[in-house]
Amino acid sequence: MSDHRDETRVAYDGVVDLYASLFADRLETQPFARHMIGAFAELVRGTGNPRTADVGCGPGHLTAMLDELGLDAFGLDLSSAMVDHARRAHPALRFDVARMENLPVEDGSLGGVLAHYSMIHTPPGELPALLAEQVRVLAPGGLLLVSFFGTEGPEPVRFDHKVTPAYSWPVERFVELLTGAGLGTVARLLHDPASERGFLDTHVLARRP
């Protein structure tokens, strides 16, 4: 395992209770993100394959939201402490420890993948491999909703995230990576920042042909 994944795992293992308390409201104060996830769930249901992975699920709050929206959702996370918390908080749902670049999921078996700010700690050179893994597990017609910090500059920007270093992305550059992975963009939503950093909160919905 490379150093950044070790650092990310250890960092999130150490903030489980605080992180879970901050996001326990399941996006009640974030209407744009909440409605984008609602649209994602509706479209995934429309594929006839509701099986959906919440990759980088953290404490499981969005996995539970997807379940409530009618999806057959399960959560995967690098942090075993996060997975333990998610299992306690949502005992009816499935959560497993997994790496995003090696998902324990069969080829072409999912109707949806949610990656809600879970790729932000990945160095830019490694992001294409993660996106390729999302495509591998999606069935034809399956959907990926990825959320990240957007920047208006020409290149990804490394910054000091409150948990561990992260990257913001120019939206067009990120969309190019999705296209290169074999996905077609369905919708994108950019809105004013929710933090003092000034990055745009960005949500891109893409479909596997």
Q: What is the DSSP string of the chain?
A: --HHHHHHHHHHHTTHHHHHHHTTTTTTT-HHHHHHHHHHHHHHHHTT--EEEEET-TTSHHHHHHHHTT-EEEEEES-HHHHHHHHHH-TTSEEEE-BTTB-SS-TT-EEEEEEES-STTS-GGGHHHHHHHHHHHEEEEEEEEEEEEEESSSS-EEE--SSS-EEEEEHHHHHHHHHHTT-EEEEEEEE--SSTT-PEEEEEEEE--
Domain count, the chain: 1
Average pLDDT over residues 186-209: 86
CATH of the domain at 53: 3.40.50.150
Per the rule left: phi > 0, alpha: psi between -120 and 50, beta: everything else, 145 is: beta
Query: Is the pLDDT confidence value at 149 over 80?
Result: yes
Cβ 150 vs Cβ 190: under 8 Å: yes
Band of residue 127 on the pLDDT scale cut at 50, 70, 90: very high
Name the pTM for this structure: 0.92
- What percent of the chain clears pLDDT 70, i.e. is strictly above it? 91
Contacts (Cβ under 8 Å, ≥6 apart) of 159: 165, 166, 167, 168, 197, 199
Give me 74's structure tokens. Answer: 């399960």
Cβ 120 vs Cβ 147: under 8 Å: no
Q: By residue range, what is the domain housing residue 136?
A: 3-207
Query: Is the pLDDT confidence value at 118 over 60?
Result: yes
Cβ 138 vs Cβ 205: under 8 Å: no
Query: Is the pLDDT confidence value at 1 over 50?
Result: no
In whole angstroms, give the CA distance from residue 22 to residue 89. 14
- What percent of the chain clears pLDDT 90, i.e. is strictly above it? 73
Mean pLDDT of the chain: 90
Distances in whole angstroms, Cα of residue 13 to Cα of each of 58, 65, 154, 176: 10, 22, 33, 33
What integer pLDDT is reported at residue 163 of this predicted model? 66
What integer pLDDT is reported at residue 4 of this predicted model? 74
Query: Is the pLDDT confidence value at 55 over 70?
Result: yes
